[in-house]
Chains A and B, each alone.
Chain A
Amino acid sequence: MVKKKTNIGRVWGVIAIVIIIVACLISLVPYLWTALSGFKFRTDILSTTPKIFFTPTLDNFPEAFIHSGFGKFLKNSVVVAVCTTVLCMLVGVPCSYAFSRFYIAGKKQLYFFFLTTRMAPGVAVALPLYLIFAKIGILGSIPAVILAHCTFIASFVIYVMRTFFDDIPRELDNAALVDGYSEWGAFWHVIVPIVTPGIASTALLSFIFSWNEMMFALILGGANAKTLPAAFTGLVTPHGTFWGQLCAAAFVVTLPIIILATFLQKYLIRGLSMGAVKG
Chain B
Amino acid sequence: MRLSKHKGFNLWTLPAIILTAFVSFLPFLIMIWNSFFDKSYTKISAGTFIGFENYRTAMADPPFLGAIANTAKIIIVALPIEFLLGLFIAVLLSQHMKMRKFVVPIIIIPMIIAPTVVGLIWGLNLNPNYGPVGILFRNMGIAPEGLLASEKTALATIIGIDIWQWTPFMFLLFFAGLCGLPSAPLEAAAVDGASNWQVLKRITLPGLKPIFVTAFLLRFTDVYKIFDVIWITTVGGPGNTTESMSTFGYRANFLYWHIGYGAAVVMVIYLISELASTIFFNLTSGKKMENVM
A residues whose Cβ falls under 8 Å from a Cβ of B: 13, 16-17, 19-20, 23-24, 26-28, 30-31, 33-34, 37, 45-48, 50, 87, 90-92, 94-95, 97-99, 101-107, 109-132, 147-148, 150-151, 154-155, 158-159, 170, 174, 177, 183, 208, 211-212, 214-215, 219, 228-230, 232-233, 236, 238, 240, 243, 246-247, 250, 253-254, 257-258, 261-262, 265, 268-269, 272-274, 276-279
Bound: A26/B113 CA distance, A: 15
- The answer to whether the Cβ of B240 comes within 8 Å of any Cβ in the partner chain is no
Q: Which residues of A contact B292 (CB under 8 A)?
A: 274, 276
Chain A residues in 8 Å Cβ range of B28: 116-117, 120, 124-125, 128
Inter-subunit contact A19/B211 (CB<8 Å) = no
Residues 92-121 of chain B, each 1 if its beta carbon lies under 8 Å from chain A, else 0? 110110010001111111101111110111
Of B23, B27, B96, B225, which is within 8 A of A121 by CB? B225
Are the CB atoms of A277 and B124 closer together than 8 Å?
no
Residues of B within 8 Å of A233, CB to CB, are 116, 231-232
DSSP class of B's interface residues: helix, strand, loop or mixed?
A: helix
Other 5 A-B pairs with CB < 8 A, given A121-B266, A214-B231, A273-B215: A101-B3, A122-B227, A154-B19, A158-B16, A236-B124
Report, nearest first, the 3 A-B pairs whose CB atoms are least far apart: A128-B27, A98-B12, A117-B24
Chain A residues whose C-beta falls within 8 Å of the C-beta of B231 in the assembled complex? 214, 233
CB-nearest residue of chain B to A227: B114
A223 → chain B closest CB, angstroms:
15
Q: Which residues does chain A contribute within 8 Å of B1, judged by CB atoms?
A: 170, 174
Interface presence of B2 (CB below 8 A): yes
Q: How far is the CA of A107 from the CA of B3 in the complex (A)?
A: 14
Kindly state the separation between the CA atoms of A219 and B253 in the bound complex, as whole angstroms. 11
Q: Is the CB of A177 within 8 A of B2?
A: yes
How far is B22's CA from A87's CA once the two chains are assembled, in angstroms?
14
The interface size of chain B toward A, counting residues with CB under 8 Å, comes to 105
Q: 25 A-B contacts, Cβ less than 8 Å apart?
A: A30-B121, A30-B125, A48-B129, A94-B12, A103-B3, A110-B8, A117-B25, A119-B221, A123-B246, A124-B28, A124-B266, A125-B31, A127-B31, A128-B28, A130-B254, A155-B20, A214-B114, A214-B116, A230-B116, A240-B123, A254-B114, A258-B109, A258-B112, A276-B292, A277-B211
Let me know if A147 and B23 touch, CB within 8 A: yes
